[in-house]
Structure 1
């Protein structure tokens, strides 16, 4: 009995500290239940703007907002009472624009037009040839394909062609094509321009695209388009140097500093405006070493070098003498001259 009295006393003390759900205001709040927004138009008491005053004011406004929420029709979802909020009246500002709906891929658009619905398939399928259940994908699927297609027919027009390697190549090309299409769908959904590769799209091709495709195709030969014929008044596409093979692009020079520029200009100026320097002392000493005859007659100066005359060669060329002939006679016994005359 004593314990029960204590519990009742605690409950009475707790209920005394709880504020009432009834709040009186001079002006009613402007409430927007769709955004859980309440605007208080009453005048604030500027003399008592402290933490307690603001806390009590906030509590009263929130109580009024919850009172209006409990007036809405309620429902129970998994042991929780919920209310359905009405459409908002106040438009809240957004930092970023509303996201656009995701663009459909070509297959999704085709399936939507034809009414094709995606159905969930089982992971296993029955193979009549192997007489067992085979998974639709995975390494076990590849192993089952090897067991089923262990021999392939060789066509008559290609008797020496490896059919297994051909099958692998065809599958790799198909996978690459699907991957390219997937990347194009991603670029299309994000509004990214795809680089040009000289490929024409008959649905969305302009004259500029046609000109680009022709230029790239002509430059893709072994001679880089050197021997390709041109039509009269044909113009090459511009701005496609990055995708055109064999086009030489000018390399940008690195920036030149001020000191390096001045040094290069000084070197260039010294080369273009170079003047011979006269060494007077060297000229005087060379003049002093000459003999009197050499000073009077400059033609008789002798210079050292290779040639006849003990390593010295005169300024005038020397005439070589022919050896003396024996007048066509040959000395024999007795001093007589007989024999044939040499020519």
Structure 2
């Protein structure tokens, strides 16, 4: 009987994962009451309709009884870039977001696409030593390709921002203003990678030893920076 009367003092708002207890209590019983109310709330939640799979249990929550205000404004939709507008014009829809993990055959496991333990970092470690050929320094060529790729990406971002700022504007003043906005919004500009200046045509064994030590010193410095 006492338990039934106590349950009448609790109001559940399962949509907000909350339970409100109007019973009077003192500080000494606060922990016990909170623990029991938490157990009651979990029991109510697990009595709802749910979907189960091998990895998790999903509970379908009802509509909240109390509408809580947002701390910040709802996020604005991200403007479409040139490629996404082309896809929509062809009826293809927006491109789905790629998964964060990708399978790497060399380690027979899934690795993140970016970050300190990403696939790119693994490939850099696997190709730390590159043989020089007649075409020139392969490592310098790879660095130049990465820098050009980053600059190309920045150029595309600037074009997309200019295109979004130009919607509905036709006058020259409007074009100049939109261009200024697009340029000012691109804060970070990538710098060209510095080329190595280590000669590889060794005249004698002494010069070869000095060049190898200089190359080893650069590799050690790069490893310390990356870690």
Q: What's the TM-score, normalizing by structure 2?
A: 0.41
Larger radius of gyration: 1
Q: What's the TM-score, normalizing by structure 1?
A: 0.29
Considering Cα pairs closer than 8 Å and 6+ residues apart, tell me whether 1 or 2 has the greater RCO.
2
